[in-house]
């Protein structure tokens, strides 16, 4: 199957969804010029045209990274600004369909939009067009310098996403997609990216709805640091100016840059200051992805006011098991958020308060590891999500829908991958209900897993189509009405074996962190 877009002709291939129907795949499409040579570290440039027919039956490269999910193998390259498009049929100028653009997660240092993790076979049962975007990761995507003359203010990875969304606006109608009905969605760092896109002036008008899964712009992992001191130290160039550091990095291969990056940030350490992530840019504000701190943007009301779905899993903090064995080695002090601004001595004092709240008079151990998981859930995900929703719902003219995922079946992706047996739903478990991937089990028709998968897909695609996840009160699959947030006591849709509305299920825990933040150096300085 061939079609023409702005850059030239493409030849795709045919896929089959979970129900046995065919759809079209166009993979590895360049949406920007390769970020090589003088373009390394800089904002992406518009794509070039090609001669002949581009083979779009194979995926392009991810940004070079260590795949921590797949045996820590090295994958990708520097030439990574490509996307995939999946559609039921090509455009004819009529009956254009809603578009869903996926932003992958991975802590801004690993991951890709590949079919191995985010396959289209579930979503393509609905009448949508599905797009996945690869963007630059780690130092390649998030290096930043204070000196504006160097042209590396940071956030290049986010500007990649924006370039991808601009490509969608110009080209998606050829694939049958509606450029006036685009939903961006993502999970973990991808969810934080989606939330940040709703706050960025550069993204205005490029999408019309947003789904933020298991993260937000206010989480500790969604904060980068400015400047090059970490890099200078790793290069044995301490005291060197930014220009010297940048010129040194330009001489390195992308593999050598990754080795330097490994000295600076460990993707398997959760609560640390991340040099490579979103930053407020200095220099040219018109070209900046972020011009203010995210919370300040929310409070100002000056954000992209589109309908939002945002949510979390019941035990996001099970992800901590990926970093170290929490049953044998769990440090409460390591879970005092660095964003609260405590010194090491202050953190020790606060640790006693936090430990008492979560563990009572017990020491962390294998017997009470679920309490450790809850602490990690609140620090890294729930507190920030609740803070964002609480500030945003009253300042937005568009609805905000909040969910908690509690369903547990063989489709719970990360919990099964990490072989966790304690009750609760792990971070990234929702991936298994929206996408087929490299460890998707056989799904028995009519099983709890099958019904759960169908509900997730229906809720997500309903939102993309209508801006309302439950537009039909008589829907026999969903059997509920998901109400948007209208008051401080946040109403939440519990996505379990059944669907039901509940009121702020973690009120006491969120209030604990609100009080702790208000008494912290960061809170007192607000």
Beta bridge partners, 309, equal 211, 401
pLDDT at 387: 97
In a domain, 420, yes or no: yes
* Nearest partner of 483 among 313, 312, 314, 309, judged by Cα: 309
Residues 6+ apart with CB under 8 A from 426: 313, 315, 316, 318, 319, 412, 414, 415, 418, 420
Q: Which residues pair with 405 in a beta bridge?
A: 313, 495
Segments forming the whole domain that contains residue 445: 307-525
Model confidence pLDDT, tens digit, residues 424-477: 999 999 999 999 999 999 999 999 999 999 999 999 999 999 999 999 989 999
Residues 119 and 266 in one domain: yes
Percent of the chain with pLDDT over 90: 82
- pLDDT at site 519: 93
| Domain co-membership, 134 together with 218 | yes
Q: What is the pLDDT of residues 212-259, one digit of tens each?
A: 999 999 999 898 887 677 888 888 898 889 999 999 999 999 999 999
Indicate if 380 and 487 belong to the same structural domain.
yes
pLDDT of res. 526: 67
pTM: 0.97
Is residue 155 predicted with pLDDT exceeding 60? yes
180 shares a domain with 53: yes
Q: Do 107 and 200 have their domain in common?
A: yes
Q: What are 386-392's contacts with CB under 8 Å, separation 24+?
A: 386/490, 386/506, 386/510, 387/218, 387/295, 387/514, 388/195, 388/216, 388/217, 388/218, 388/295, 388/298, 388/310, 389/310, 389/485, 389/490, 390/488, 390/490, 391/295, 391/298, 391/299, 392/298, 392/303, 392/308
Q: What is the pLDDT of residue 116?
A: 94
- The verdict on 228 and 188 lying in the same domain is yes
Mean pLDDT of 35-45: 97
Catalytic residue among 188, 200, 396, 520: 188
Q: Is residue 293 part of a domain?
A: no
Note whether residue 297 is domain-resident: no
- pLDDT band, residue 49 (cuts 50/70/90): very high
Q: What is the CATH number of the domain that holds 32?
A: 3.40.50.1820
Q: Residue 277 pLDDT more than 90?
A: yes
Mean pLDDT confidence for 164-183:
98
**Domain co-membership, 315 together with 399:** yes
Question: According to the model, what pLDDT value does residue 227 have?
Answer: 67
Number of separate domains in the chain? 2
**What is the per-residue pLDDT for 59?**
98
pLDDT of residue 514: 96
What percentage of the chain carries pLDDT values higher than 70? Answer: 98
116 is catalytic: no
Residue 268 has pLDDT above 70, yes or no: no
Q: Is the pLDDT of residue 135 over 80?
A: yes
CA neighbor of 46 nearest in space, from 30, 23, 25: 30
346 is catalytic: no
pLDDT the model gives residue 272: 58
Q: Which of 78, 187, 281, 316 is catalytic?
A: 316
Whether 40 is covered by a domain: the verdict is yes
> Looking at the structure, do residues 176 and 86 belong to the same domain, yes or no?
yes
């Amino acid at each position: 199957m061939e079609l023409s877009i702005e850059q030239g002709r493409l030849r795709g291939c045919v896929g089959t969804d979970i129900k046995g129907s065919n759809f079209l795949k166009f993979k590895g499409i360049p949406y920007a010029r390769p970020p090589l040579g003088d373009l390394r570290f800089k904002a992406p440039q518009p794509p070039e045209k090609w001669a002949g027919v581009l083979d779009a039956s194979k995926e392009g490269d991810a940004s070079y990274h260590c795949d921590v999910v797949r045996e820590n193998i090295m994958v990708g390259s520097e030439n990574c600004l490509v996307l995939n498009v999946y559609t039921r049929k090509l455009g004819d100028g009529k009956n254009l369909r809603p578009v869903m653009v996926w932003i992958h997660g991975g802590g801004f240092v690993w991951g890709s939009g590949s079919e191995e993790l985010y396959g289209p076979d579930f979503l393509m049962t609905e009448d949508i067009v599905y797009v996945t975007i690869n963007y630059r990761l780690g130092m390649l995507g998030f290096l930043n310098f204070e000196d504006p003359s160097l042209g590396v203010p940071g956030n290049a990875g986010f500007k990649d996403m924006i370039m991808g969304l601009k490509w969608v606006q110009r080209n998606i109608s050829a694939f049958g997609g509606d450029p006036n009905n685009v939903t961006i969605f993502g999970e973990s760092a991808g969810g934080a990216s989606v939330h940040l896109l709703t706050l960025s002036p550069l993204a205005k008008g490029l999408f019309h709805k947003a789904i933020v899964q298991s993260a937000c712009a206010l989480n500790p992992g969604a904060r980068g640091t400015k400047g090059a001191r970490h890099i200078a130290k790793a290069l044995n160039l301490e005291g060197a100016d930014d220009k010297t550091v940048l010129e040194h990095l330009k001489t390195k291969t992308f593999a050598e840059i990754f080795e330097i990056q490994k000295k600076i940030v460990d993707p398997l350490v959760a609560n640390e200051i991340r040099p490579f992530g979103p930053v407020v840019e200095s220099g040219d504000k018109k070209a900046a992805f972020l011009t203010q701190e995210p919370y300040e943007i929310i409070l100002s009301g000056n954000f992209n006011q589109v309908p939002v779905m945002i949510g979390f899993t019941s035990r996001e903090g099970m992800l901590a098991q990926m970093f170290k064995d929490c049953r044998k080695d769990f440090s409460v002090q390591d879970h005092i958020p660095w964003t609260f601004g405590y010194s090491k001595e202050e953190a020790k004092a606060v640790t006693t308060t936090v430990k008492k709240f979560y563990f009572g008079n017990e020491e962390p151990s294998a017997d009470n590891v679920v309490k450790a998981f809850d602490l990690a859930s609140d620090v890294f995900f729930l507190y920030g999500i609740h803070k964002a929703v609480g500030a945003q719902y009253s300042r937005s003219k568009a609805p905000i829908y909040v969910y908690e995922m509690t369903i547990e079946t063989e489709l719970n992706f990360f919990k099964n991958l990490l072989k966790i047996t304690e009750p609760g739903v792990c971070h990234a478990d929702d991936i298994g209900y929206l996408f087929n991937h490299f460890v998707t089990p056989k799904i028995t028709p009519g099983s709890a897993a099958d019904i759960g998968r169908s509900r997730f897909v229906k809720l997500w695609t309903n939102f993309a189509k209508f801006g309302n996840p439950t537009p039909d009160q008589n829907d026999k699959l969903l059997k509920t009405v998901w109400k948007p947030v209208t008051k401080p006591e946040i109403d939440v849709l519990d996505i379990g074996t059944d669907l039901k509305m509940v009121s702020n299920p973690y009120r006491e825990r969120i209030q604990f962190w609100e009080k702790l933040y208000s008494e912290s150096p960061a809170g007192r300085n607000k």
